[in-house]
Each structure stands twice: as C-alpha cells, then as structure tokens.
Structure 1
C-alpha cells in the first residue's frame, strides 16, 4: 500500500510571494516526492502565501493539521524546519502533533532519521535560526537608528509622505526630502477646508475624490489617509521615526478570519522614544493645532461616538462580508421627526473606507436587535437547572484555567532557560571555545524529556490539542 503524501510550503512576505518563492519550494518538494516514489494529489498541497511563520494560526497549516487529525495523510514533505515554523518551540509542537497522528514529517533540506545525531542537527538548526533572526532584527534596528541620528538616512524607506518627494544626488548616495508644490497646494487646501469650512476628514476625502485628486499610491482618498495628513507632525517640519509600534489588534475588524500578519495593528510609542528629523514645513504648527482641535470636536459630536449607549457595541458582525458593524445615530430630519440608533457595516461607505466594493447589508435598528438578544438571554437563564449547570461549568473551567496557567508558566520558564543555554553555546562555538563533539556531549548531559520538565500532568493523548489551543 502506497503512502498518502502531502506538501506544505510557506513564504513570509508579499515580496517573496511575488518573486515566486513558493513555486521554487513546490518544485523542490515535488522532485523530492518523485524521488521517494510518492504521488501528491492537488488537494494535498497546502500553501501559506505571505503569512509569517511566527504564528500557528495559518490557513494552510490548519488544513494540514485537520487532514492529519482525520487520518488522511501518512507523510508530509516540508522544504526546511523554518518553513514549518520560525519558533523552535512551535516546531517541536507541530512535529510532535503530526507524529502522534501517525504522520511522518520529512524535511527536504535536512532529512532527519532516528539517529540522535540527526535529531540534534535539526534541533540545533531550528534554535540557531531563531537566535540569528532575533540578532539580525536587533542589529538592523540599532544600525538604522544610528544612521538616522547621524543624518545618513531618511525616516522613510522608499516613499515619503504626500507632498514630500525624495530627490537623489547625481551619484545616488544621498537622498533629500523636498516639497512638491502641486501636492503641497492640495495639503494646504485640506487644512483650509477644515479650518474655514469646518469639514470632517470624511468630507475632505469626498471632495478630493470628486475633484479628481488622487493620492500617490492609491486609487482614491479615504478618511484615514486624510486624517493622517491633517495630524502628521511631518507637515510642520518635524518628521518622526519610531512613532508607532506593531501590536496585535484587540478587536479585529474582521473577527474569525485569518490575518497574514499577527501584529496587524499599531499603537503610539511614548514621545520620548521618537526620533525627530527636520524637513521643510508645508504648514505651521498653529494651523495643525487648530485642525487637531476641530477634528477632536468632530469626534466628540460624531453620531457613532461613545456618548450613546449600544448594548452590543463591537459585537455585531455583518453577515454579508464578515466585518464588524458600527453604531450610528440618525438625527431628526424632515419626514422623520425623531432620532433612532442603528448598526451599520463598515464597508457600506466604500468610497471613503478604501474598499473596492460596497457592502449591501441593510442597517439594523438598535432597539429591535437589543430586544431579540435580551429576550434570548432571559429565556436562557430563567430555568434554575441551567444556572446550576453553568455554575458547575464555570468552576470546572476555572480549575482547568489554573492548571493551564501553571503548565504555561513551566513551559515559558523552560523556554527561557533553553534560550539562555543556546545563546551561551552558540557564543562559545563561534568563539572557538568548544567543538561540535563537545556540543553533542553537553546536549546529552542536559537532555531531559520535555513533558516531565515543563508539562507534567498533561495526558499524552490530549497534549497536542492543548498545545495547539495555547498557541
């Protein structure tokens, strides 16, 4: 009986996706499968394009794990361990889970056997790759900050803010930021419309689109782009670097969907961490301060502001496109002498939100939706048996959470100790203080079963699922 094979390939960035890196991985995997006498059907090719390997919730990887759980595959071919996961702990979790499902994981670049030396090589490659990646990121960050402070680098990677093109010197070694007078006139017009006509950022975006004025790298202006121009200190002559940092979104715009980047949101860093680089100003600080005050007043007076009560705020999801719906207020007007509140999809205003298509989902009245949800909750909690069952389930879940918290703490402690040990070994190896044989000997002395050291008490059959839920 022939083995049922599958392929898994992944690239981290959209640039790698455009450069056909996935195609090269698939070609190498198919050649390896042919050499092993395996046939891989089209439905068993799992690919994650442009998704970071630092996270485990990837659509292709989840499909692979589900197929393994259903017993549909016997062997999976991966180009290298870092294609399966960037984090060494994640690699161990995935390989152990697939192995427990009866699936053999075959790495094309470094095929592992049952020999202890081969397993050591794969493990050391994964740990060293993670260590070097962290070191490269830190050195790149420090080098970029040093060049910015020395004036050898601009605060923009390739594209400057709207109104500020970048000019290169004749030899191509130096770059300077100048003012584009045509775009600068549009920027000044935005500020003038807000100060003199009291327009909102959404109204400014609509006017720019109606006049046929396009941003530099998009088809139309959106309220977010306009708000950025009206509040960015760059336009007052103070370009900033490191003003924002990437974070995981607390409330994703499209809950339940896969995100290519785990930290797909951002937040401001403390002002003392910003780097200020002087550039030619387009407006003065007084004008921007007035505009900021007007926008703050608009935000307070907006119909969707928090001063109105919505029982299901940020919990209603559009059934058409899956995006979160916003709370809105309809003020009294001709024909409707009363106000009412409703939930609307974010994608209905496609022309100022940057979407290609307008969502056709209808508005939902707040009072009607609240009544339906409230009646369902009341009917659900009225029977005393239901309350007793929920109380018992809550106590059980708290006990399980406490155990999971302790297991996670042990796992994180073991990971920190392992990272420290690996850094010391790598430094000693790079300095020539120890050899490969001594590395193996030290590894054998410190070798301990991971279950007993950091996950004691977890049943072996359910351990992969528990680890999958944690990550």
Structure 2
C-alpha cells in the first residue's frame, strides 16, 4: 500500500539568505525524497516562524500537521533535517511521540534515523548536542560578562553614560570622565541642590531653560532642547557617584523589566559628584513628590485629564487672578503655550481656561451621555471608526519590529554557528554578540510598547455589556450627586470613565472637545460635538458653532 506523505518546511535562523527561496529549497528536497520512496504527497506545509521561537508550540502549519495526524490523513511527515522540526530537543520528542501515537513516522532527508535503538540514539545525540551547545554558549557568555564586570571591566549597552567616555585599557573596558560633559553634570546638581549665587535651587524646568539659553548641546542629536526627562534621569543616576550597575534590566517574554538592585552587579567608576550632593538631590526630589501630592488645595474635576489641542501637551491646573478685588479663579492652561522651555514644541494656545466652566460642561456632558443610553451605541460606532484608523499604523510598526527582531536574532544565531565551526575568534564573537543583543533588546522594548498600545485600544462584547450595566447603575445617582455637590463622587466617576478634555481657541471662542472612555472593561464613548466654554447650570451645554 502506498504511503501518504506530508512535506514540512520551516524558515529559521539556519536559512541565511532569501527566506522564500529557502522554504522552496526545503520543499524541493522533501518532494524529491518522497517521490524516490514512491510515496503519495497529500500536502505541503511551509512555516515562517519569524514571529515565534523555534522552541515555541505556536506554529500553525506544524499544528496543522499534528491535527491531520489525529484525523488519520497521512502516514509519513517528511522534514529536511532535525532542526527544521524544532531546535528544542524536548519539543522535538513531544511532537514525534504525538505523531507516532497516531501511526505517523517522521523521516529526515538529511540523516537516516531508523526506528531502532541505535537510530534513536543517534538522533537524540544530534539533537541534544545542538541544543546543549547553544545553551552552554549563552551561559558561558553571561558568566564571562559577569566575571569581567567583577574584575572591573565595564560593559555598556547602548550609549555611554553622559559625562563619560569608554576606553579599552589593557584587557579591560573602563569609563573615564569626559570633563567637558562632567562640568554640565556638576552644574545640574549645583543648580538643583543649592542654586546659583543668592538664588534658591532651580526647578528641573528652570535647569532645562538655563541649559538651552547657554547653548549646551543635548546628549543626543535627536533633540534640540534639554528635556525634563533627561535632567531627571541624570539626577537619580548612581553612576555619577561612582556606582555603575550591570543587569539593571532582565528579559521577559514580551520585552524587559527592571531588576531590583540586589540582582545587579556593581562596579566602581570615577565619581563626578560627591555623595552628599547626590543625597541632597534625592531628598529634594522625594520632598517635591510629597509636596505635589499635598499641594492641590483646590478642586479640579478634570485634573490631569486636560490636553492642549494645538500642541498635544497636558494642560495644568492652577490658581490665577488677584486683581484689585482680590478675586482669584482656577484655570487650565498650556505650559508650552505660556513659554515654558522644557517643551520642545511651539504652541500659540496662550489662553487661560476657567476650570469651573470646563468642569461643569464636562459633568453635564457625562450626565447627558448616561441619561440617554442609546448614545452609548452611537459613540461606540464612532469610536470603532477612530480606533481602526489609530491601530492601522501601530500594526504596521509591529510588523516592522517583528521583522527587525527576527533579522537580529538570525544574525545572533549565525554568530554561534560560526563560533561552533571555528570560523570566528572568541573575542570577535563576544563583541559582535554584545552589539546584536543591544539592538535586539531595544527592538523588543519597542515591540512591547506597541503591543501595550494595541491591547489598550481593543474593545470586546463583554466590555459593551459592562458599560450598559454601568450606565444603568449610575443613571439614578446623578440627582443625589448634584444636590449634595459631592466632588469626590464626581471625581471618582470622571476617573472611572477616563473623561478627557481638549482645549483650544477657535474662531474667537474658547472650545472644549470632550471624550469618554469607560474604563478597562468598557467601551469608549466619543463625542462628535464641541462645547462652548460657558457656565452651564441645570441643562446640558450647548454645542459650539464651528
């Protein structure tokens, strides 16, 4: 009886040139082998696993082959060689065992492994050696890197810390102070801890402004102005007090995570600032955080929920006024529009927006939405259209990130193959592997961030049901909330629904755009109207005429 065969091919890091051509080549070899055996080919399955690991079970075509075996559709699975089925010996044995239980044998074109004790032993040895060597090489590199650090050699991922240069000193890599940049680091710490002359310590925003005014180049050519994030990072870095840490981040399935200090290795480097100054900076940062939490004496319903239409920056809530009548008002305002220098973009939205007007409009709008639940479905339809347009470029970026990650991983695996074959020196291997790992880590972080954005934008049927139930619960509470003027309850609802406001000055009028996201487990309701900034009392705000 003629045996029925399925051909299986998989692109992996061993196929180094054209992926499509390699798949074709694998199938050609398998097809020729099957025909020579006189087998009837029932299917040809080609796998591109660039989005998965060779040790992963999430390979659709391989899963299809297993399913067809369960259904009794064929007798032999033809694969070019062992690592085309899997690079992981455990997974390979699991797959072969599952196929064998369904009376399907796996045969390899490159290598005869008869179903005998000797044949099984030879196959196991070849699989184990490949898996073991790859694992041990990675382990040795990690141990070697840690050993180098413990004896004082510095391994830097990505850019060298600002204020230092990396040099090769004998058999070690070391950080030496870049005096031109170190002056800037010391100046930042001085401004932040003691100030300048008779002036009090500067804020981080003021430090950025001073650096820009002095024409000090930023650490990277990508940014023309010093940013709050950059200066903040400098002010918490232990490197500047002579403590350099290796292993601050660890790899996870989706990217990387920050490791606790006890899991890192430290090395001594030249200090740029003294310990006392650094500790003063940490105490001031912590004090500022605590002060920020306590300092909001006034109620802002949309605090941290307001954005500038023109530049996209978050708008801050503050108190202003103080004219002859000593009357103060609460406002939302764009810090970029008011000229604060740590915002790289220019903004012409220099207006002050009365927070009591904006907050009341937002509250009335939320009430309108929930007192008319049919608007939820209308808002949901509009949201789906908007989110589809938003997600399209994210998916394109995700595809690109996956391709680049796959390419970097291919190059990394190729280095290991070259080392095993004796075609590359160990020192050169370590250097190239380090560079590839740095690239790979950055790409994986980017992919993780893209995935988070995509996941945060998805809406399910269960979420739709949740919001409808939420609407029913909240609907009957609005009268009591308004009568009691309960700010805490209002704020809780605003935060729970993630109400967002965008402010702008258009056609000689101040306008607010409102949108509402009903939490992690609910749908988004997007307003298709804009509202004039005017105080609304018991009725809904009137739409603005654009």
Q: Under TM normalisation by the shorter chain, which class is it? A: 0.3 to 0.5
Tell me which structure has the larger Cα radius of gyration. Answer: 2
User: Which has the larger strand fraction?
Assistant: 2
TM-score, normalised relative to structure 2 = 0.42
